[in-house]
Amino acid sequence: MNQIEKIIDIATWNRKEHFEHFSAFDDPFFGVTVNVDCTRAYQEAKDKGVSFSLLVLHRIITAAAKVEEFRYRIEGDRVVCYDSLLPEATVGRADHTFSFAAFEYNPDELTFICKAKAEMERLQATTGLNKGGTFHPNAIHYSAVPWLTFTDMKHPTNMRSGDSVPKISTGKYFREGEKLLLPVSVTCHHGLMDGYHVAKFIEILDL
């Protein structure tokens, strides 16, 4: 179960002015898109007979959790740090609609993939958004866009709700020489982190 690891003392925080400055914006989110070498992960998924997308999702959540700032959330007038991250994703259906999904994180990759696959199959037989059971405070919002090799990504953000959840998306992989590259879009609240922290995440991301 997700728990608050600590409450950030905003008064003594070295990001106090950054937090106050960007939190006053109508849209305080910034985003970057990076092409990440996924050659090895793609081959691993083939060798293990598992979903490449779910393998990538597990490694994204694992990497993000290692960067503390990805676990920061704004809750009312507080900034809190959670002890873990929960992957919440979109699950596509045959009729081209999608469902929201919350997947239980497990440090064991194959266990996570197996359980997430079963939950995806369950949701693909439903209709609507299935919002119940999602929108956890320690979530990372993830979406795969396998039809497009994008160079940028814009996410809908409900600032009236005080949203501060990072959003990560992947696009259609493409070949460049001997490598397979995967577009990875990362969108974060600028009051909580900067490009440096996104770069740390990309560096840790093991694809």
By annotation, the residues acting in catalysis are 190
Tell me the two tokens of residue 45: 């998924």
> CA 59, 104, 160, 78: dihedral to nearest 10 degrees?
-90
What is the three-class DSSP state of 5?
strand
HSE value, Cβ hemisphere, 13 Å, CA-based, for 119 = 22
Residue 68 in contact with residue 82, Cβ under 8 Å? no
CA distance 51 to 119: 13
Count of residues in the chain: 207
In this structure, the number of other CB atoms found within 10 A of the CB of residue 205 comes to: 23
Q: What angle do CA 139, 145, 150 make, to 5 degrees?
A: 110
CA distance 33 to 153: 7
CA distance 52 to 46: 8
HSE value, Cβ hemisphere, 13 Å, CA-based, for 54 = 27
